[in-house]
Amino acid sequence: MKKVNRNKYICITTLAIIIIGLFTFSIVESNKQRFNINSNYFFAKARVDKIDYDDTNKLEDENNQVLQTKQEFEITILNGNHKGEKYKIRNTIEAIDIHRIIVSENDEILINYTISDKDETINSIHLYEIVRESYLYILIGIFILSVILICGKKGVKSIITLIFTGFMIIKVLLPILISGFNPLIATIIVCIVTVASSLFFINGINKKTIVSILGTTGGIIIATITAIIIGNLCKITGLAETESQMIAYANASIGLNFKQIMFSAIVIGALGAVMDVSVSITSAMDEVLQIKSNITKKDFIKSGMNIGKDIIGAMSNTLILAYAGGAFSLIFLLAAQKMTYATIVNMEIITTEIITAFAGSLGIVWTVPITVFAMATLVFRNKFKTIKK
């Protein structure tokens, strides 16, 4: 018992040191950031106090062929260095604009503004977006309460690990990537540490957790290798999306590897599904062992593979449908334009989505045998030692 507790303490201490080390490294690397940033360009929240002029109703009149409308309104800045200051904004809306931002009194909005180099007063200010975060917090709150209500103590642990995962990606991984460090190496290391910490926290340090980590790591590595090979054969640049092109154009001197950043996105995208498969199989196989402790290794593996086959069908569809849903607007646009299959499938942005979806799904498929054989090896090695003694 003492040896088991000692091993747990060693494992927890090691993970804690690694996490602190990664966080420290991310802070050091973030100081090396060389992105071109306009130091006079800021964002802030504001409240619409009064609308002085509004003719946007003309846009709804089909008989009125208006080219543009506008809103003029008074605002109060709610945060930042200019909190409490009042300004008047004119928001012009072109009739051809598809995305129209129309405000009402008491709305909270996001503004962008520039300041003077001499006295730091605001010299230009514009409407940027509507503030929507309060409704998102309501949705997140409902989700958290639902998880805790249904799952109890494990639900609380799941929420904590979800927060931890967000912290590792936003506060650790992204600063490292922005600094120009190798994206693939950083992503794999951070993801493995995140998975290990989350599973140890939820399920404790035991054979199920160890096997789940091994299965998840194996599936992610296979997904990554597949994506790299096929991505290189397809001559993917990683610059198919507008956001990547904007970053590359504004920061050409940094030399970010957008192809590897794309591979990193594949790792992150597949991580949750691969971990879910590994944990599900491990838990199911452990239940089989609890019910039938005298099961043979051959039957144990067979049971695990039968469980895995059912999971593969559902999870592979889940991952592919998730990526298809994310790119649905693009797919819809291309279909509406009646572009040929050859044209669509050979576009880099579509090729990238296909590689992402199927490389991730391939990782799920191979997670099953990796997890099953790892579980069987660990269980029957321990059994053999027990019998031998």
Query: Domain boundaries in the chain?
Result: 2-32+151-388, 41-131
Q: What is the pLDDT of residue 388?
A: 40
Entry pTM? 0.75
**Interatomic CA distance for residues 150 and 189, integer angstroms:** 32
Residue type, 279: V
Q: What is the pLDDT of residue 39?
A: 62
Q: What is the pLDDT of residue 387?
A: 36
Q: What is the pLDDT of residue 384?
A: 46
| Nearest partner of 354 among 327, 375, 332, judged by Cα | 327
Q: What is the pLDDT of residue 372?
A: 93
Burial class (CB within 10 angstroms; exposed 0-12, middle 13-18, buried 19+) of 217: buried
User: What are the 10-residue block averages of pLDDT along the chain, 389 residues in total?
Assistant: 63 83 82 62 90 83 74 91 90 79 90 82 88 92 93 88 90 84 86 88 82 90 90 82 64 68 83 86 89 86 88 74 72 74 80 84 90 89 49
Burial class (CB within 10 angstroms; exposed 0-12, middle 13-18, buried 19+) of 359: buried
**Interatomic CA distance for residues 227 and 214, integer angstroms:** 20
Q: What is the pLDDT of residue 88?
A: 92
Which distant-in-sequence residues (6+ apart) come within 8 Å of 207 by Cβ? 286, 375, 378, 379, 382
Name the strand (E) or helix (H) holding 72: strand 68-77
Q: What is the pLDDT of residue 389?
A: 37
DSSP three-state, residue 202:
helix
